[in-house]
């Protein structure tokens, strides 16, 4: 498991290579070993060593990699920084607002939000509204001001940005394959 993986990485580092290739180093290891491996890889990248890291775990690629290549069926189909890949997706952030107030006030607030130029869609969520927007967190201040104008108290806000997994699924297709 984890001890064997860490030992393999240590052996690979003995001759101080300029390039270290790691193929799925965290597959099948316990959470503590996984964190230890990820911390070690992050330190290696920070020390100037080039690390070629293959993984199916998008959160690992987001955490560790300066440049990311997405390979599908043996072909490189996208390459760039995490931010470049996400921006290329063109997806919007979702900002969810939890509010205290009456349903009529929430509906009036919805109409105001739909008029904002940066708003793509407004949806009902439990105890509030969810807004799809290109401006992400930039929408929070005007939305809260609008809510207050409609006698609503904003009790919570959650922002969900598109991530590397959304990029991967968009580029490779969402259906399961053999």
pLDDT in tens, 135-168: 878 889 999 999 999 999 999 999 988 889 888 8
pLDDT, residue 178, reads 54
pTM: 0.65
Question: d(Cα 14, Cα 21) in Å, to the nearest integer?
Answer: 14
Name the architecture of domain 2-66.
3-Layer(aba) Sandwich (3.40)
Using alpha carbons only, give the angle 27, 15, 5 rounded to the nearest 5 degrees: 15
Question: d(Cα 2, Cα 46) in Å, to the nearest integer?
Answer: 23
Partnered with residue 164 across adjacent β-strands are none
- Does the CA dihedral 55-174-170-138 come out positive or negative? negative
Above 80 in pLDDT, residue 91? no
Where, residue-wise, is CATH 3.40.50.300 in the chain?
2-66
Where, residue-wise, is CATH 3.30.70.100 in the chain?
92-160
Extended beta strands in the chain, E state: 19-23, 50-54, 68-72, 75-80, 93-100, 119-125, 128-133, 153-160
**CATH topology classification for 92-160:** Alpha-Beta Plaits (3.30.70)
């Amino acid at each position: 498991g984890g001890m064997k993986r860490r030992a393999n990485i240590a052996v690979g580092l003995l001759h101080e290579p300029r390039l270290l290739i790691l193929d799925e180093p965290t597959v099948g290891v316990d959470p503590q070993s996984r964190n230890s491996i990820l911390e070690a890889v992050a330190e290696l990248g920070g020390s100037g060593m080039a690390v070629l890291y293959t993984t199916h775990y998008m959160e690992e690629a987001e955490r560790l990699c300066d440049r990311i290549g997405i390979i599908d069926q043996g072909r490189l189909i996208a390459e760039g920084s995490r931010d470049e890949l996400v921006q290329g997706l063109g997806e919007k952030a979702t900002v969810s607002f939890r509010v205290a107030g009456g349903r009529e006030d929430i509906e009036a607030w919805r109409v105001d939000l739909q008029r904002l130029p940066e708003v793509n869609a407004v949806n009902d969520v439990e105890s509030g509204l969810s807004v799809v927007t290109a401006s992400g967190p930039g929408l929070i201040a005007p939305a809260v001001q609008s809510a207050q104008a409609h006698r609503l108290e904003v009790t919570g806000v959650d922002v969900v940005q598109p991530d590397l997994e959304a990029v991967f699924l968009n580029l490779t297709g969402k259906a399961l394959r053999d």
